[in-house]
Amino acid sequence: MSTIHNFGAGPGILPKTVFEQASQAVLNFNNSGLSLLEMSHRSKDFVAVVDNSVALVKELLNVPEGYSVLFLQGGASTQFMQVPYNLMKQGGKAAYLKTGVWASKAEKEARLFGETVVVASSEDKNYNYIPKEYAIPADVDYFHCTSNNTIYGTQMKSYPNSPVTVVCDMSSDIFSKPVDVSKFGLIYCGAQKNMGPAGVTMVIVKDEILGKTARALPSMMDYTVHIKENSLFNTPPVFAIYVSMLTLEWVKAQGGVVEMAKRNQAKAELLYTEIDRNPLFTCPVANEDRSEMNAIFLLTDESKEEAWNTLCKEAGLHGLKGHRSVGGYRASMYNALPIESVEVLVETMREFERRNA
């Protein structure tokens, strides 16, 4: 079978060794004679998986004391609601930075619990930049931002000094580079980009910010309940957590998030350099805000779309179609994507230029 270079936006590419280990666990986990899929989530073997997963998150991101790591269900979209449920006081309000679809959806959900203040938005230019000049009110319960925007190809390269708790959706760039967790009160992410398969959501939360809303919370929505139960309050997504653990072990073995950052920077530089050089392609994103995870590019002549698509297929380039709200193409370069795949994409772009110059 010919090589497939998977640039899909999500669920994203994972290391081959992870698939191999995970497939064995489906058949016979830890030589128990049982599949992981049929094993009790409260068994000694699976509790060890959760404990190891938590330890890996804390080690890789250097999580300070006083923070808890949770593995939950419902995707990052459930966090759009769970965050204000747990952090917005009765009659309170929260500030949001509006940089794309997911940030907008998060702000919309928060309105169900109180007032929201949009401190800045890049909607005026179809979210192709990250707003820089804005003030975060000191009288809000928290400030929410989205670190990376898969649809529009933008990424926050720094975070504002905030007078209030900072909450960040890091779904699409978590573990791609070092993060100073101490600057955040809460970080959440869907696993299906850099961490594992769809089905589990990871939350890192500062314990001291919880339990201050004067609001009665349903047990499933209460972070403190899940902390007390070690993410085992109800049956968790056992397979998704296990595959995430394997992926985090792989990240550690490669040299951790520092090494991931070096590789991701090299991949992004290689591709963006070619996009800027090649007259047949253009990138609509502001240079300083270009994402290292999701590179957006357009054809300068849309009449050549069919020819480009054919060439991509012949080269084994998969998942390049852009989101419908932006069009064009999107190359997602998550941790497990090797630079060799980016080299094939760049060479295909050069071949397209040779044929159509």
* Tens-digit pLDDT profile for residues 158-205: 999 999 999 999 999 999 999 999 999 999 999 999 999 999 999 999
Q: Looking at the domain assignment, is residue 203 inside a domain?
A: yes
Q: How many other β-carbons are positioned within 10 Å of the β-carbon of residue 129?
A: 19
Domain shared by 242 and 282, yes or no = no
Domain shared by 79 and 228, yes or no = yes
Query: What CATH code is carried by the domain that includes residue 106?
Result: 3.40.640.10
Q: Looking at the domain assignment, is residue 141 inside a domain?
A: yes
Domain shared by 281 and 191, yes or no = no
CA 54, CA 51: separation in Å to the nearest integer?
A: 5
Q: Which of 254, 278, 299 is the last residue of a domain?
A: 254
Q: Looking at the domain assignment, is residue 10 inside a domain?
A: no
Q: Looking at the domain assignment, is residue 191 inside a domain?
A: yes
Give the distance from CA 311 to its chain's centroid: 29
Query: What CATH code is carried by the domain that includes residue 336?
Result: 3.90.1150.10
Q: Which of 198, 221, 254 is the last residue of a domain?
A: 254
**Which H, E and C letters describe 81-130, residue by residue?**
HHHHHHHCCCCCEEEEEECCHHHHHHHHHHCCCCEEEEEEECHHHCCCCC
What is the CA angle 206-91-86, rounded to 5?
25
Class of residue 154 by CB neighbours under 10 A (exposed 0-12, middle 13-18, buried 19+): buried
Q: pLDDT category, 299, cuts 50, 70, 90?
A: very high
Domain shared by 282 and 352, yes or no = yes
Q: pLDDT category, 236, cuts 50, 70, 90?
A: very high
Domain shared by 123 and 72, yes or no = yes
Domain shared by 147 and 248, yes or no = yes
Q: Looking at the domain assignment, is residue 26 inside a domain?
A: yes
DSSP-based three-state secondary structure for 148? strand
Q: Looking at the domain assignment, is residue 73 inside a domain?
A: yes
Max CA distance (Å), the chain: 66
Domain shared by 127 and 56, yes or no = yes
Q: Looking at the domain assignment, is residue 6 inside a domain?
A: no
Q: What is the rounded average pLDDT of the residues 40-51?
A: 95
94 within 8 A of 141, measured Cβ to Cβ: yes
Class of residue 313 by CB neighbours under 10 A (exposed 0-12, middle 13-18, buried 19+): exposed
Domain shared by 313 and 250, yes or no = no
Q: Which of 254, 282, 306 is the last residue of a domain?
A: 254
Q: What is the rounded average pLDDT of the residues 225-229?
A: 98
pLDDT digits (tens, 9 = 90+) for 111-138: 999 999 999 999 999 999 999 999 999 9
pLDDT digits (tens, 9 = 90+) for 324-357: 989 999 999 999 999 999 999 999 999 999 999 7
Domain shared by 195 and 291, yes or no = no
Domain shared by 273 and 337, yes or no = yes
In the chain, the percentage of residues whose pLDDT exceeds 90 is 98
Domain interval for residue 114: 16-254
Q: Looking at the domain assignment, is residue 8 inside a domain?
A: no
pLDDT digits (tens, 9 = 90+) for 23-33: 999 999 999 99
CA 346, CA 351: separation in Å to the nearest integer?
A: 9
Domain shared by 34 and 146, yes or no = yes
CA 238, CA 48: separation in Å to the nearest integer?
A: 12
The whole-model pTM stands at 0.97
Residues that are catalytic = 102, 169, 193
Query: Which of 224, 177, 186 minimizes the C-alpha distance to 205?
Result: 186
Helix (H) or strand (E) holding 351: helix 339-356
Domain shared by 278 and 239, yes or no = no
Helix (H) or strand (E) holding 228: helix 223-228
CA torsion through residues 18, 20, 25, 29, sign: negative
CA 246, CA 53: separation in Å to the nearest integer?
A: 9
Q: Are strands 148-149 and 143-146 parallel, antiparallel or unpaired?
A: unpaired
Which residue, chain included where needed, has tokens 């000049």?
133
Q: Please determine, for residue 276, whether its predicted confidence score (pLDDT) is greater than 80.
A: yes
Structural domains of the chain, count: 2
Residue 97's DSSP bridge partners are 120
